[in-house]
Amino acid sequence: MNRKDIAVIALMAIMLAVGVRMITGADHAQRKAQTQMVEDAVQSAALTCYAVEGAYPMDLNYLKENYGLSYDEDRYRVTYSAFASNLVPEIYVIEVGADQT
């Protein structure tokens, strides 16, 4: 094997590594966007409830039962923390098993 062959193999390895990195980066961006969509859905349901009833619900189940909120509960964990019915609740969504970096 000569230098030219080694250079070609090295270049192909680098291109493969860059390709893998691009694919995993795209996957991470897609997963982040999907998590954001779940958070947006929860916020939208809470705001709709406030607009209709004049108060934010005190728990997430109310939104599920009365405003049609649904998401993959096996894939996402949603923390819904309501302090008072007239204050916007804190909403956090994480994907189960996802790297949170």
60-85 pLDDT, tens per residue?
Answer: 999 999 999 999 999 999 999 999 99
Looking at residue 15, its pLDDT comes to 74
Prediction pTM value = 0.74
Looking at residue 100, its pLDDT comes to 53
- How far, CA to CA in Å, does 46 sit from each of 14, 24, 93? 48, 33, 14
5-61 pLDDT, tens per residue?
Answer: 777 777 777 777 777 677 777 777 888 999 999 999 999 999 999 999 999 999 999
pLDDT at 99 over 60: no
